[in-house]
């Protein structure tokens, strides 16, 4: 059953949470569908206050016994929150693979100047339709790779800080050995993605399968690990610095994280690193972005926001003190010198 056929079966007992773009198409297929439109994207809607506002709107829509989320990451997060608060069955149908949100059971809530991961919401099913995903610009689907490629820097982050703490990674502590193995499994995913770069330039059954498989493995590894450390490190904290300190609120999450991956890779290349032969360097990362067609978009963003980006790079170390990250092991003067050097020869 394709997405149009599925939507045509919905009645008033199904609340469809969606965004503006899919809403018109849904109404064309099923004029009687019960819709709740999340009418703007970006992180600002994901504060607890705004999530509760969306919950109030949902309750005002009348009774419903299931929720269908049809949209991107913001729609998915809103739907998970409403599902949790109303104890209603949740189904996900991404209209764009721009983040790993539909695959995650936690909800990323903006809390003043940081992110809280709260609640657990397990969807009954996650549905995919190639025709629906084709309706979104390809680059938005490609941006979802940020939460896979971030494993590169996040795993390096974990290795570096564990080495700094222990002095060695030859440790037989049971919990450490388990987590080290999970990090090693996670690192395979972006390596496989790089090998498939020629297949990720357009939406096809193969590219959809590659991305979905990567998301499912990434989320599963994080669940077993106990937190998001395998895929969330200093590159995400840089994205949050751009968001909370730089005031960049209406730019896709993927653009900010991909820029973060590049700059954090550059910083990590200045570190004494335990596993250099497995490390994807910044030149390889830039080559990958160029091959799939995303590099130009990142360069345009940095060019148009250069002062903010540079200021946030200097602010990152201070902002990231609240997190467990390798940046906390770099002395302030050394950090400033590294950033100064990076900005001299940046490819963004």
**CATH number, domain containing residue 231:** 1.20.1090.10
Q: Indicate whether 209 and 105 sit together in one domain.
A: no
State the DSSP code for 110: E
- pLDDT value at position 192? 94
Backbone phi, psi, residue 126, to 5°: -120, 120
Residues 111 and 143 in one domain: no
For the chain, which ranges sit under pLDDT 70? 1, 40-45, 169, 273-279
Asked whether residue 79 falls in the same domain as residue 154, the answer is: no
Q: Are 171 and 209 in the same domain?
A: yes
Query: In this structure, are 142 and 129 located in the same domain?
Result: no
The pLDDT score that the predictor gives to residue 277 is: 56
Domain that holds residue 120: 3-134
Residue 41: the pLDDT is 52
Looking at the structure, tell me whether residues 33 and 102 fall in a common domain: yes
Find, among 206, 204, 211, 194, the residue nearest to 291 by Cα. Answer: 194
Task: Classify residue 116 as left (phi > 0), alpha (psi -120 to 50) or beta.
Answer: beta
My answer on whether 120 and 203 are in the same domain is no
Distance CA 116, CA 112 (A): 10
At which of 134, 167, 188 does a domain end?
Answer: 134
pLDDT of residue 275: 60
Tokens of 322: 């609240």
112 shares its domain with 172: no
Q: Count how many domains the chain has.
A: 2
Q: Are residues 94 and 146 in the same domain?
A: no
b/e burial code for range 9-42 (CB count within 10 A of at least 16 → b): ebeeebbbbbbebbbebbeeebeebbbbbbeebe
What is the predicted pLDDT for the residue at 274?
52
Asked which of 134, 167, 192 is the last residue of a domain, the reply is: 134
C-alpha 121: how far from its chain's center? 17
Does 123 share its domain with 151?
A: no
Task: Report if pTM > 0.85.
Answer: yes
Instruction: Report CA torsion sign: 195, 199, 204, 205.
Output: negative
**Do 32 and 87 share a domain, yes or no?**
yes
Q: Please indicate, yes or no, whether residues 25 and 157 belong to a single structural domain of this protein.
A: no
**Dihedral in degrees, nearest 10, Cα atoms 226, 228, 233, 236:** -160
pLDDT of residue 208: 92
Nearest Cα neighbor of 46 from 249, 316, 222, 216 is 249
Q: Domain boundary at 100, 134, 168, which? A: 134
In degrees and rounded to multiples of 5, residue 116 shows phi and psi of: -110, 130
């Amino acid at each position: 059953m394709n997405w149009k056929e599925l939507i045509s079966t919905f009645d008033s007992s199904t609340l469809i949470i969606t965004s503006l773009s899919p809403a018109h198409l849904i109404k064309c297929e099923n004029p009687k569908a019960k819709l709740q439109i999340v009418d703007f994207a970006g992180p600002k809607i994901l504060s607890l206050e705004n999530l509760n506002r969306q919950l109030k709107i949902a309750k005002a829509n009348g009774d419903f016994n299931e929720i269908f989320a049809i949209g991107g990451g913001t729609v998915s997060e809103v739907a998970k929150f409403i599902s949790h608060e109303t104890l209603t069955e949740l189904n996900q149908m991404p209209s764009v693979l721009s983040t790993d949100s539909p695959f995650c059971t936690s909800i990323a809530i903006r809390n003043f100047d940081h992110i809280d991961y709260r609640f657990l919401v397990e969807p009954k099913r996650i549905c995919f339709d190639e025709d629906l995903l084709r309706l979104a610009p390809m680059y938005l689907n490609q941006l979802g790779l940020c939460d896979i490629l971030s494993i590169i820097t996040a795993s390096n982050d974990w290795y570096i800080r564990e080495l700094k703490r222990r002095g060695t990674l030859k440790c037989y502590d049971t919990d450490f050995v388990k987590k080290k193995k999970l990090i090693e499994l996670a690192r395979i995913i972006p390596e496989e993605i790089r090998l498939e770069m020629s297949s990720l330039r357009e939406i096809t059954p193969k590219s959809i399968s590659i991305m979905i498989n990567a998301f499912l493995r990434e989320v599963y590894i994080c669940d077993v690990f106990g937190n998001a450390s395998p895929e969330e490190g200093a590159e995400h904290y840089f994205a949050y610095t751009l968001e909370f300190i730089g005031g960049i609120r209406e730019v896709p999450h993927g653009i900010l994280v991909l820029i973060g991956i590049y700059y954090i890779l550059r910083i990590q290349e200045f570190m004494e690193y335990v596993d250099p032969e497995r490390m994807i360097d910044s030149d390889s990362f830039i080559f990958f972005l160029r091959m799939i067609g995303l590099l130009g978009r990142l360069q345009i963003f940095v060019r148009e926001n250069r002062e903010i980006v540079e200021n946030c790079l200097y602010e990152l170390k201070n902002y990231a003190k609240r997190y467990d990250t390798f940046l906390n092991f770099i002395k302030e003067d050394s950090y400033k010198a590294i950033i100064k050097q990076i900005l001299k020869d940046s490819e963004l």
